[in-house]
Structure formats: structure tokens, C-alpha cells
Amino acid sequence: MSTSNTCVYLCSGCGIGNAVSMDGLKNVVESEFKKSCTIHDYLCGDEGLGLIRSDIVKGINQMVVAACSPRAMADRFRFNGVQVIRANLREQVVWSHPENEEDTQMMAEDNVRMAVTEAGKSTAPEPQLEGDNSEVIMVVGGGHSGLTAAYEAAKTGYDVLLVERATHLGGMARKWSKRMPTDPPYKNPQPNTVENLIESVSNDPRITVKMGCTVAKTSGMPGRFIVDFSDGSSQTVGAVVVATGWRPYDAGKLNHLGYGISSDVVTNVELEEMLTEGRIARPSDGKIPEVVVFVQCAGSRDRDHLPYCSSVCCGVSIKQALQLREAHPDVMIYIIYEELRTPGVAEEFYRTSQRAGVIFLKGKVQKIDSSLGITVQDAFLQQEVPLKGVEMVVLATGMVPNSTNIDKEAQFLDEEKLKLLNSDVNHYAPIKVAGAAAEPITLSAETLPAGESILNLQYRQGPHLPMLAHGFPDSHYICFPYETRRSGVYVAGPVRRPMDMGEAAEDATGAAMKAIQAIRAAARGIALHPRAGDLSIPHINLNPCTKCRRCTVECPFGAIDETEQGFPSVNATRCRRCGTCMGACPVRTISFTNYTVDMIGSMIKAVHIPDEMEEKPRILALVCENDAYPALDMVGIARLSFSAYVRIIPVRCLGSVNLLLVSDALSVGYDGVILMGCKPGDDYQCHFMKGSGIAQERLSKVSETLKSMALEAERVLMAEVSIADSAALPKVIQSFVKVLESVGPNPFKGF
């Protein structure tokens, strides 16, 4: 660890100096830590920043700024070559606690102690660059989304390799006669321009197209993915966009809706082919139907079929109904729906169909018989209504993502296989007992079962992109919609979620931009989302490593592989710096230069713990920096209050919290420990996907540790906190304080 010349700066602005004794804080720094300390009225002002810069010229290379939240003024307190550590005195002390009270002063002093201690246990990371990086973007899938991603990436000046397993480009989009409106006034179907897009891509000198080809295996990491193809060729690429599109749900499973019973019951895709050919006719006799019924949610939002809504089916049915009416003005058209999904500009499209005479019936189709007799449970009349004289039925079947290379006839993987896809454990190279060497991973097109992974990733955690329950690739859908759990690999279009062609084009453009971002980040040695720009990577001391493989299994992003000897090996540009591996290691051998178990442990111990007689409990709060920490900031911004007995340490993710830190805190006298993190589970909100879920699983075993210490289980709590929970957060903290009051002081106080 290089020598750091550290200076501490205390800001008295924004009411800080009116609420706490600045001289008292300065005395803590100078007497306890022997560090230079400066007080200034407004550090973020030009004069304050000038003072700091003059000290940097004199040799300061690390500083502690005790002022506002580290989430505020980040650009002002950023200095090249200098590590800046922030102590939050404003939002989480003076704005959320009474002025000039003893407990508020003690809280401020402890915040300064923890920040200065962090500085002493932290070193600014430096970029670690390994070899040459590729700037080629590989796009897998030559449908509308893949073509758009390739075209948009090439427009920015990047070379693109487009891989399509079919012998032609265009995918499902080529079957569409027209498309839903994407341009004002959003009232009528628009021409399908996919052929123009195919021509643009085919003629672009920056785009290389491989057709009739699949990916045999993918190894490496962002900037240096090595891809082998089924045609025997190989290429290094920088990032990957998966745009493999969708397929219609198997209508053969919808016998109750007449499919397969009557040839005049067709799917929306089959009707689209008729529209493309320019002739709408009943399959049974070739006549133009006089009465056509569209059945929405055909097999969708149904626990026995597709449990989700495909979102675009309503718009597609309206488009097809308008095309039918244009071709045959006398045809009577019904659309039977449960809920109609036409938000935003699609509302005008819906109104156009109403004006054109399309009849909408709110209800659910109970049955369609062989003579096309339809029974509808009418939602308004609250009774069954028969429809007779129907000559053709169109089933609006949903969209199934092509998230694996399964045959087009297949629909869903069985439950057991879905568990394997989501387990993050390579079932082709199973985990052995601790201490044994890992089986080498030699996946290829020949060794994989037919029609499995799209990328055939050579990752310790398996060849697949982890998927959600319904086959859509897993990502943080709110904050990082294009991401997958594999860094540098992005998904776009209907393989990510059901969407129309307009949405897919925007999606593909976004994914292409993310791929470019990944390439540039890899070239600079910095992290991707959500800790964008972070230079730190995990360092593993192999001497005490027990080869337990918890780090390789628990890493949410597959960033850690294993050597032939069974030791963990970090792929630097796959890593997103969440620290989950650090929290997983039972022997504390994994660390970052600026984030270690020892650093957090030392910050915990830096807090002054009053003895039992003072009746001032201390509560340690290990708080996720992504949601819970800003929620606590918002408590202060709203001038709400929470217990002054709480001492807050932000962590990268609850997954980075080693449970030994909990026992360490209790052993030095903290009365309780609360872990604040994102919601885990199937509908998780964790920015690092699995971090809070892993923390919850680890915490379920903490009772044994507490029992061995003769302490109550109630002293440790995990609270789910989203960024929107700031108003309720003080009540959560106060409730925990009351629990600790009921169990009494920690018997370890004073030891």
C-alpha cells in the first residue's frame, strides 16, 4: 500500500457549523488521528476549492471532506490523482437531528472518525490494463432488432459482426405487411421498412454479415471476447448484443379456442401472411369472410399457457382489423378483449379503429366450437353472450423470447431445465467438494445438447445468459434495461421483453450504445454500471484460500473462473465491483484496494461506544449505497429525523457484507446491527441482481453465531429499503431501537 499524505477538511456551511461544534470535530481529527485539519465556511465554493487545490500542489494525495452527502457535489470534489473520502455531516446528521445536542455532536464526531479511519485503510486504485482490446461489436440475430443494432453501431464508426443462423436477414419482421404507427399522427398502419434496413446493413462497409451460422462458444471478457463459430472461424470482439427476437406461442395448445378444430381459426401471424400476400380468405373454402372475430390474450395471461402479457397484441389486432376493413369495407369485425393495451400515442390508433366501425367487446372467450360458435363472458353484462355467424377467428397469440437456440416448434423449457438456467452453476462442469480441482470447461457446439445456449459462454457458472421465469434474460429492468448478468453482453428487442417494431428499434439503439460504452470502459480498465468508472478490482491472496468456491458460485456476473488447480481467477472486465466475492469469502482473503473487510471492520471499531451506564446505545447500520443510503439522505432533505444512536456505513451492496463484520460489531459493544438493502426475490430491486438475496441467505445463519456469543437474535435485522421509502425509514429505525431497548444493553460493552 503506497504512502498517503492525508488532509481533513471540515465544512461549516449549509447549517453544519450552527448545529455542531466545528472545533470539537477538529479536535477529534488532530488529537486522535494526528492529521492536518482545516475548517472552511463553504468548501464547495471557489474559495474553498482553491484552498484544497493549493494543498494538492503541496503534496496532498488523499483527503477527507466532511460536509454534505457523497452523493452531492461529486463533481466539485473530484481532483485528478487524489482520493477523496466523504463524511456525511449535512443530510444524515445536522439536517436530520436537533441542533447543538450532545447526541448530534457525538454522531458528527463518529462520522468523522469513520471517514478518517477509512482513509487510513484505503488506497486509490489504479487501472489494470491487459493486452489489446477489440472494438468490434458482435450482434447475434439478423431480425429487425439485430439489424437496427448493427446499423446504429456502424453509424458511430464501430465495426460490426452480424451473425444470423438463418440463410436470410429480416427475421419475423419480413412477414409483416405493415407496422404499427411510429410517426405522427399515429392513426394508421405504416409501411414495413425492414427491406430498406436489410439493404442498408448489407451495403455498409463496417458491417460483416455471417448467415447460416451460429456461435459455437464464447470465452474471455469485455474487450477480449473470443468467439468460435459453427463454420469453423473465430474472432475476437469487444462486446455482444443479443437480438434473437421472438416466436409466436404454439397455438396448437389452444384447442379450447378452436385452433386445430376448425381451419378457419388462425393466429395473428398467419393472418399477417395473408395480408402480406394481399388476399384475405377463409382457409376452409377460400371465400372472403363477412364476420371476423379477433380474440385477445389467446393463451396469454393464463397460468396454463403464457402467464404474462405480450403488450403488443392489442395494437397488432387493431392494425390487422384496419387493414381488413380497408381491403373489404363490408366485413364486420369484433375484437374481444379483457383489457385493451393502447397507451400514449397508440390511443389515436385505437380511436381510428373505432371510427372505422370495429366493434370492441370487453369479456373473455369461454369456448369456440368447430362451427365457430363463440361463447363470451361479457364483463359489462356479467353473463355469457353467444356470437353466431362468425366466419373467421383470429387468435392474438403472444410472443415467446428466443433466449435459447431451441427448435422453433418448442415453446418452454421444462421446470428442471429452467432451474438449471437460473442457478448460476455450470451443470456441465458440476461443483466438486472443497479442495478438489475444477473440471475443465470445454463446451462447444458438439458437447452441448442440441439447440441450447445462444452464446455457449465458457463461464464457470454456465453457458447461458441467466433468465427469468418466462425465458427473458435477467437484468435490472428499471435501472439497466439492456444489461444481462454477463458484463459486456446486452439484449435488445423482443428477446428482452415483448415490444413492437418501433420500440425494438429504440431498444436496439440503446443496446448498441451500451456495447460501445462497454468497449470504451474495458479499454480504460474501468467498471461498468452501476459503479461506472470504478478502477478497483478484487485481489485474491491465494495463500490462505481454501478453494471453497463460494466466490465463483456467488458472483452475480460470472466474473470469477477457476484455474486447473481450483483457485479463483478474476476476469477483470467482467467484474462490476459489487464486492459479493468479498462478502462470500470465509477467510477474508478477497479485497479491493479501496474497499476491504479490514477497512469496514476498522470503521466499525472507530466509533466511540458509550458504556452501559450512559444509556446511549449504539446501532450499526450497514447500508446499500444504491437505494438505502440515498433514502437516508432524503430523510434529512425532508428534515425528518431518526435515532441519533445509529452509525451509518455505506457498502457497495449487502452482498459484500461478510457476516464476520456483524459478530465483530457486537463483540465491541454495538447493541444491534441493521442491514439496509434492496428487495430480494424474483422481483428483486438489487442493482447487483443477487446481492441482497445472498445477504438474506447468509443472515439466516447468523443466529448460530449469536447463540455462541450468548446474544439475542433480535439484535440483528435486515430491512428492505427502496429509494422511495424515505418517509417510512425513520419508523423502521425507531421500531428497531424499541426492540433493542426491550432486550437490553449489549453485555460486551466495556470489554
Tell whether 236 and 271 lie within a shared domain.
no
- pLDDT at residue 475, as a whole number: 77
Would residue 132 count as lying in a domain?
A: no
Write the CA distances from 260 to 180, 250, 257, 288, 397, integer angstroms.
Answer: 29, 11, 9, 20, 14
Mind listing the pLDDT tens digit for each residue in 681-710? 777 888 998 899 999 999 988 888 898 899
pLDDT in tens, 632-662: 999 999 999 999 999 999 999 999 999 899 9
CB-based burial of residue 375 (10 Å sphere; 0-12 exposed, 13-18 middle, 19+ buried)?
Answer: middle
Residues 187 and 326 in one domain: no
Specify the number of domains making up the chain. Answer: 5
Query: Do 604 and 499 share a structural domain?
Result: no
**Judgement on whether residues 113 and 149 belong to the same structural domain of the protein:** no
Residue 130, in any domain of the structure: no
Q: Residue 406: its pLDDT value, please? A: 57
For 124-172, the pLDDT digits (tens) are: 998 888 778 999 999 999 999 999 999 999 999 999 999 999 999 999 9
- Closest among 237, 363, 343, 352 to 295, alpha carbons compared: 363
- 600 and 736 assigned to the same domain: yes
- Out of 548, 566, 591, pick the residue that ends a domain: 591
Decide: 631 and 723 in contact? Cβ < 8 Å: yes
In a domain, 648, yes or no: yes
Residues for the chain: how many in total?
751
Full domain range(s) for residue 118:
1-124
**Chain-centroid distance, C-alpha 369:** 45
CA atoms of 239 and 159, how far apart (whole Å) = 11
- Give rounded-to-5 percent helix, strand, coil for the chain: 30, 20, 45
Q: What is the pLDDT of residue 468?
A: 77
13-17, 29-33, 406-410, 435-439: the lowest-pLDDT one: 435-439
pLDDT for res 529: 86
Residue 365 lies in a domain: yes
Question: Is 66 a member of any domain?
Answer: yes
Q: pLDDT-derived band of residue 3, with 50, 70 and 90 as boundaries?
A: low
**Is residue 534 one of the residues assigned to a domain?**
no
Question: What is the CATH number for 568?
Answer: 3.30.70.20
Considering the chain, what is the average pLDDT of its residues?
90
Say whether both 557 and 671 belong to one domain.
no
Residue 531 domain-assigned (yes or no): no
Residues 605 and 670 in one domain: yes
pLDDT at site 430? 31
Shared domain for 120 and 242, answered yes or no, is no
What number is the average pLDDT over the span 557-562? 92
What's the CATH code of the domain at 412?
3.50.50.60
State how far the alpha carbon of 389 is from the alpha carbons of 231, 332, 359, 374, 528, in Å.
54, 11, 15, 9, 59
Looking at the structure, do residues 267 and 367 belong to the same domain, yes or no?
A: yes
pLDDT digits (tens, 9 = 90+) for 501-535: 999 999 999 999 999 999 999 999 999 888 999 99
Question: Which position has the higher pLDDT, 105 or 749?
Answer: 105
Tell me the pLDDT band of 432, cut-offs 50, 70 and 90: very low
Please indicate, yes or no, whether residues 640 and 741 belong to a single structural domain of this protein: yes
Q: Domain end: 500, 524, 548, which one?
A: 524
Looking at the predicted structure, is the pLDDT value of residue 407 above 80?
no
CATH of the domain at 115: 3.40.50
Per-residue confidence (pLDDT) for residue 426, from 0 to 100:
35
Q: Looking at the structure, do residues 647 and 719 belong to the same domain, yes or no? A: yes
Q: Note whether 606 and 623 are same-domain residues.
A: yes
User: Is 359 inside any structural domain?
Assistant: yes
CA distances from 528 to 519, 572, 679, 685 (A): 10, 11, 22, 18
Q: Is the pLDDT at 460 greater than 90, yes or no?
A: no
Model-level pTM?
Answer: 0.89
Last residue of a domain, one of 335, 362, 397: 397
